[in-house]
A and B are shown apart, each in its own frame.
Chain A
Amino acid sequence: MRFLSSLLSLILLVGGAPAYAESVVRYGISLADIPLTSGQPDRGAGAYQFTGYTLYDPLVAWEMDVADRPGKLVPGLATKWEVDPADKKKWIFTLRDGVKFHDGSAFDADAVVWNLAKVLDDKAPQFDKRQSAQVKPRLPSVASWRKIDDKTVEITTKEVDSFFPYQMLWFLVSSPAQYETLGRDWDKFAASPSGTGPFKLDKLVPRERAELIKNADYWNKSRLPKTDRMVLIPMPEALSRTNALLAGQVDLIETPAPDVVPRLKQAGMTIVTNVTPHVWNYHLSMLPGSPWTDVRLRRALNLAVDRDAMLELLNGLGKPAIGQVDPSSPWFGTPSFKIKHDVAEAKRLVKEAGYSPEKPLKTTFVIAQGGTGQMLSLPMNEFLQESFKEIGIQVDFKVVELEALYTYWRKGAKDEMSAGLTANNIAYVTSDPLYAIIRFFHSGQVAPTGVNWGYYKNEKVDAILDEAKQTFDPKKQDELMAAAHGLIVDDAPLVWVVHDTNPHALSPKVKKFVQAQHWFQDLTTIGME
């Protein structure tokens, strides 16, 4: 009798259980490995979407659930931040109440202070050099920090810097309690991470996959994941990723190979693109002896580029660049030099400067053979080489690996390793005022401080940027950035070619995906039905 009753219970239990199928999204990502999971992801801005903003939160967040306009700074773990009117180097962050880490411990001011020391104080016991390496360059303004009370933290900057809150986008908060539980070992923490984010890490197979599961207790209910499980699969080869999507092995991929876009569309896949803070360019040297000290030649280069033809080469995966930022950006302004394809005008300017197709200007640019952000580096460079030749500028390329090109870039055009080179070709991230404008165009940002590679100097631009750093009204900040950008485009210290549009290819099964106008993307917006 007891056996029969048990059997009946079992049948009822099995038969009566509600049918629930876990929704799973499999995402083929372009990185060669899962980024660091202990707090600060490695592998650049594009990695934050995978193991940064999924597992963790910043104090100041980026609005990532809008596609039709640029996002803006929004409250994250801090509900508000403001500069101290008495001392504009001091920023007061008011922290969110009731937030818990995945391990159940409470988020508070102690956690924030502990995390700042984790990446900025090499004497702190919890200091992690790997996380520090990632975020220290992103927090150049921080001088010191202190807890005011359980819900308030004060951060002091080295100088007055109104753009400081943008730096806080990069700073993510890990759980001090979990670190203690795991024996104060960051490697163990990476395997069992604990943040406050909308996903928890369920499984990590190094170099092969990470499985994230929905954090149903997430504090921000509008950012609850639309899928129960998100499987991230590193697939560094574009063709392998594309084939995996076509074969149904994954549901969406980053950056499909441009030449297979027609095949993907034919198979019913959707290609999603959006304006992205990126610019593929030539950064020109303004040092004495460089031909680009002549603004006519700089403008001629910009006018020689047929950007529409370039987009055809990219199968539409890009947007023409007529400045450092896209015209839809509030920082674009109103440059008087209108960048377009005008070969006749370009030839006229080159002739005026003393050159012609018969008597060409000969020079050398250093370029990368390929790599992250460089799009189709060699074909694009060869295309432009022909365009420049047509107007009387003969460019030879010194081709190096991207990592080597970064070294050229950091050392500036004056360094002896750049002798004989008049431009470099690193594609730039242009996500905030510092990243888009200040680090390239303020004369104080030459090597080794910043990456004003070509030693560009315009006193008016310097003055505007200095004023912007002292201006705390966001609207006024935008106006100043736009004024600076207008002047910069008129000076044409770069040859702006295209903006990447961060293409994603989605299988028909993926019904929800909001692609923000940023490198930061919100994986919580991805859903199957």
Chain B
Amino acid sequence: MLAFTLNRLIYVTPVAIGVTVVCFLLVHITPGDPLTAILPADATLELQEQMKAAYGFDKPLPVQYALWFWKVLHGDLGNSIATGRPVATEVLRAVKNTLILATVATMIGFTFGTLFGFVAGYFRDSWLDKLASFISVLGVSVPHYWLGMVLVIVFAAQLGWLPPTGAGPDGSGDWRPDAAHLRYIILPAVTMSVIPMGVIARTVRALVGDILSQDFVEALRAKGMSEFGVFRHVVTNAAPTALAVMGLQLGYLLGGSILIETVFSWPGSGFLLNAAIFQRDLPLLQGTILILAMFFVMLNLAVDVLQTALDPRIKRG
């Protein structure tokens, strides 16, 4: 097992290096000046050249990459050009906020997605199925930033029940799961949950239909088991797949949603990326993309290793 893990780690290394190259190139080939964040609009060309030299942007790209990569290897993602704050601190704080939001959104999405999926699958072709299917299709089709704006207008601006933006009464610095802070997460989490809800509902509906058509269900019914008992068996059989889909959706949401976090000024990784893009804050942009990308690389590695631990046949493959 240890050998397998080491083997996978070796495979991951070129991927990780590739990720750093892509991160670096992506932000450098985009149009715009990296010093936009710090120089006033009317700064002279002479001053721009001076500042480029001061920040090392006058060096050839391969040299800039090598210097940046060397620092990254030592755990230093550099400092934000715009704020001077360490990129690592900024990104980790943002990722924590995104994690909180994505977890709550996934829980909401999973709860309602499985509910609608089971109802639709179990009562296939009934009006309940049509209603649940309609809601789930709506979930994956509606642009979520639009839904976010509508929810803000209705529940914050019109009714005044919930706060429209932010992560808490005093910001996200001391976020905790109490009533004061949870009020802030409701609207963004509900908005973010509609896609996983739709995906999970559609998956579960298909799964339940498939399970219900299997022989063992016929056998259970032939033995005289109550419909509730049959339902329990269906749930038990569908749960692992539903959980796997939920895990995938959580991973997807952890990537951050730029649009939702911007609409709600939720200080997560999407909000940070948005700010970094508009300010052309290259170290921050590179650092954020790198951390998120490496998160997925490591997640895939963990899944590979776990799957092998659970099912050794994969290792042979």
Contact segment of A110-118, A312-320, A398-406, A476-484: A398-406
Known A-B contacts A32-B279, A206-B83, A207-B267; the reply to A129 vs B156 at CB < 8 A is: no
A130, A249, A411: the one contacting B164 at CB < 8 Å is A249
- A208 engages B171 (CB within 8 Å): yes
Chain B: interface size category: 35 or more
Known A-B contacts A42-B38, A243-B164, A249-B164; the reply to A206 vs B90 at CB < 8 A is: yes
Known A-B contacts A33-B275, A239-B149, A240-B265; the reply to A42 vs B45 at CB < 8 A is: no
How far in angstroms is the closest Cβ of chain B from A130? 6
List 19 contacting pairs A-B, 8 Å CB cutoff, sorted by A. A129-B54, A130-B84, A133-B51, A136-B47, A187-B85, A190-B84, A244-B163, A244-B164, A244-B166, A247-B157, A247-B160, A249-B165, A249-B166, A401-B32, A404-B32, A409-B41, A410-B45, A410-B48, A448-B45
Question: A451 within 8 Å of B by Cβ?
Answer: yes
Question: A492 within 8 Å of B by Cβ?
Answer: no
Known A-B contacts A137-B39, A447-B45, A448-B44; the reply to A243 vs B32 at CB < 8 A is: no
How far in angstroms is the closest Cβ of chain A from B278? 7
B263 proximity list for chain A (CB < 8 A): 237, 240
- B163 engages A249 (CB within 8 Å): yes
Interface positions of A from 184 to 208, Cβ below 8 Å from B: 186-187, 190, 205-208
Interface positions of B from 244 to 288, Cβ below 8 Å from A: 262-265, 267, 271-272, 274-275, 278-280
Question: B152 within 8 Å of A by Cβ?
Answer: yes
A406 proximity list for chain B (CB < 8 A): 36, 41
- B40 engages A44 (CB within 8 Å): yes
Known A-B contacts A42-B82, A244-B165; the reply to A401 vs B31 at CB < 8 A is: yes
Q: Contact residues of A with B, CB < 8 Å?
A: 32-33, 36, 42, 44, 129-130, 133-134, 136-138, 186-187, 190, 205-209, 233-237, 239-240, 242-244, 246-249, 401, 403-404, 406-407, 409-411, 426, 439, 447-449, 451
Interface positions of B from 126 to 162, Cβ below 8 Å from A: 149, 152-153, 156-157, 160, 162
With A and B bound together, what is the CA distance between A445 and B246 in angstroms?
61
With A and B bound together, what is the CA distance between A411 and B43 in angstroms?
11
Q: Contact residues of B with A, CB < 8 Å?
A: 31-33, 35-48, 51, 54-55, 79, 82-85, 90, 149, 152-153, 156-157, 160, 162-167, 170-173, 262-265, 267, 271-272, 274-275, 278-280
- A134 engages B38 (CB within 8 Å): yes
How far in angstroms is the closest Cβ of chain B from A259? 13
How far in angstroms is the closest Cβ of chain A from B27? 14
- A133 engages B152 (CB within 8 Å): no
How far in angstroms is the closest Cβ of chain B from A189? 10
How far in angstroms is the closest Cβ of chain B from A123? 13
With A and B bound together, what is the CA distance between A407 and B34 in angstroms?
12
- B31 engages A404 (CB within 8 Å): yes
- A206 engages B156 (CB within 8 Å): no
- A208 engages B165 (CB within 8 Å): no
Known A-B contacts A44-B41, A133-B39; the reply to A247 vs B156 at CB < 8 A is: yes
How far in angstroms is the closest Cβ of chain B from A444? 13
With A and B bound together, what is the CA distance between A404 and B42 in angstroms?
13
